[in-house]
Amino acid sequence: MAAAEADFDLVVVGGGINGAGLAREASGRGWRTLLVEAADLGSATSSASSKLIHGGLRYLEHGEFRLVRESLHEREHLLAIAPHLVRPLDFLIPHVPGAGRPAWMVRLGLLLYDLLAGRSRLPRTRGLRLDRPPWNAGLRPGPRRGFLYPDARTDDARLVLVNARDAFERGAEVRTRTRCLGGERAGGLWRLRLCRADGGEEEVRSRAVANLAGPWARQLGEAFPEAPPRTRLRLVRGSHIVVPRLHEGHHALLLQNDDGRIVFVIPWLRETHLVGTTEAVDRLDPAGPRPSEEEIQYLIRACGRWLERPPQREEVIWSFAGWRPLVDDGHASASATTRDYRFELSPRGAAPILHVFGGKLTTYRRLAECAAERLDRRLGGLGPRFSHRTPLPGAEAPVPAPPPGLEELAARHGCRWPRVASSAAELGADLGGGLFEAELHYLQAEEWARTAEDVLYRRTKAGVFMSEAQRREVARRLAPEPGAGAPGRP
């Protein structure tokens, strides 16, 4: 069979941040691309992160200089191409002698962080006295000095979404609720078996395949028996809690725990803080990762070490967990296991498959660029680089100032918010938690939203702030109509 008979140049399996990023990269550089996602876009690890676009100060302790440097450079790109979704955030490390790393070590780490960042749009790190607001906000009396360093935060699930949306606008087909069952080579192409949510199966032919199934990458790889991967994954569960605001400052806190780990306290939506995370070695489970009671108590205790008013168990508004799909590098400790990614490209001579393991949210764009270029050595025809300088959807133009009541809409959709509703009068029924009827329709029509979960916990976080009755009402409104949702269209 000639390559001209292929349906696609590349099929990307897995619609997390890395798969969505690669679909954007490949379609934007001229390849006919299909992105298949078994569930919803960003429904696994990529909506369960700490939501930081950061270098990862802590990784310096493990000598991951390449990764930190690349992450800091990517932070710059993402601040530029998605300013509505990636925003600067200051981190304060309170310091008490004898409680955590010595001051010289923190200072050295921050100096390296500055150096590895190179020319950055963010300010340099600095030392601080903590005897006045806002820097002493919420802290127990004790730490008199601290360190401040800049990083950035994002909305992880929406970052996935805008990458998938951009891929679609550049010609990629995006199929959610479509599982790849595996594939075989025939006539110089991959024949991939896909299974839709309705149980129907179909076959597509592609010149190449990229396995970006995150925690399932090894499992998926084994469904390609002619080119299975060798890399082993280590799944490390990380959990977060959301609690009412713990201090008035706008900065995040990096708290050193007595076990040598760190816990972030990050200002989040609607007067809350996001607190995380944990590290528990885990295994694939069809029910998905769940925060254990022990992890929730651990996070509360870690706050109690530093905060005047730590959260109480009954104040936990929401909690969630994700599996870090880490490359098993043989380290005994989960903390020390590398956060870097690894590629395995099938041997030369036949239709290639690229298995991708590991990777951070922060480095997704560069991972996608490298993955496309690795595949190009076998496929050819890849166009010039664009993703580092081309704005993502919602950032193509300055964001028009939203009228009162539409601020959350503008935060989610950037300059595209007027497409959802151009005035408060167009919002329609108030469904609670900051979600309105007009946005619900938009998310279904333009962003592949199908279920209440898609809308309430990924396209928005409205579900966290709704009553049970409000969540049920959204689910009722989303009940599928027969024949809805043609494949490949949002």
Contact residues: ligand FAD, CB under 6 A: 13-19, 36-39, 43-46, 48-52, 179-180, 212-216, 220, 238, 277, 322-324, 359-362
Residue number with CB closer to ligand FAD (158 or 416): 158
Q: Which is nearer to ligand FAD, 241 or 466 (CB)?
A: 241
Output the smallest distance, CB 86 to ligand FAD, in A: 11
**163 contacts 172 by C-beta, under 8 angstroms:** no
Strand intervals (E) in 380-474 = 430-432, 435-436
Which is closer to ligand FAD, CB of 34 or CB of 427?
Answer: 34
Residue 438: CB minimum distance to ligand FAD, A? 27
Q: Strand 86-95 relative to strand 126-129: parallel, antiparallel, unpaired? A: unpaired
Q: Residue 52 or residue 68: which is nearer to ligand FAD going by CB?
A: 52
Nearer to ligand FAD, 96 or 253 (CB): 253
What's the number of CA atoms in the CB half-sphere (13 Å) around residue 244? 6
* Residues 305, 258 contacting (CB under 8 angstroms): yes
Q: Considering beta carbons, is residue 83 or 214 the nearer one to ligand FAD? A: 214
Which of 176, 81, 170 lies closest to 458, judged by CA?
176
Strand segments, DSSP code E, in 188-301 are 189-196, 201-211, 233-244, 252-256, 262-267, 272-276, 280-282
* Helical (H) or strand (E) element with 113: helix 103-117
Cα torsion angle, 59, 65, 66, 69, sign: positive
Query: What are the C-alpha distances in Å from 488 to residues 30, 177, 194, 303, 458?
Result: 18, 11, 13, 45, 20
Closest contact distance (angstroms) between CB of 47 and ligand FAD is 7
318 conformational bin, left if phi > 0, alpha if psi -120 to 50, beta if neither: beta
Q: Scanning the structure block, which residue is given the tokens 């090894």?
A: 218
Cis before 134 (ω within 30):
yes
Token pair belonging to 470: 């409000």
Give the shortest CB-137-to-ligand FAD separation in angstroms.
Answer: 22
Give the CB-side neighbour count of residue 100, counting CA atoms within 13 A.
21
Closest contact distance (angstroms) between CB of 45 and ligand FAD is 3
Q: Within 10 Å of residue 415's Cβ, how many Cβ atoms?
A: 17
Q: What is the nearest approach in angstroms of ligand FAD to the Cβ of residue 473?
A: 27
Q: Tell which residue, 376, 385, 360, has the closest CA to residue 210.
A: 376
Whether the ω angle into residue 277 lies within 30 degrees of 0, i.e. cis, is yes
Task: Specify which residues 327 forms β-bridges with.
Answer: 233
Give the three-state DSSP class for 14: coil
Nearest approach, Cβ of residue 223 and ligand FAD (Å): 7
Measured CA distances, 177 to 130, 141, 287, 488 (Å): 50, 52, 17, 11
Q: Which residue is nearest to ligand FAD (CB)?
A: 16
Q: How far is the CB of 238 from ligand FAD (least distance, A)?
A: 2
**Considering beta carbons, is residue 56 or 310 the nearer one to ligand FAD?**
56
Residue closer to ligand FAD by CB (options 253, 431) is 253
* Closest distance of CB 422 from ligand FAD, Å: 33
Cβ at position 235, least distance to ligand FAD in Å: 9
CB nearer to ligand FAD: give 179 or 207.
179
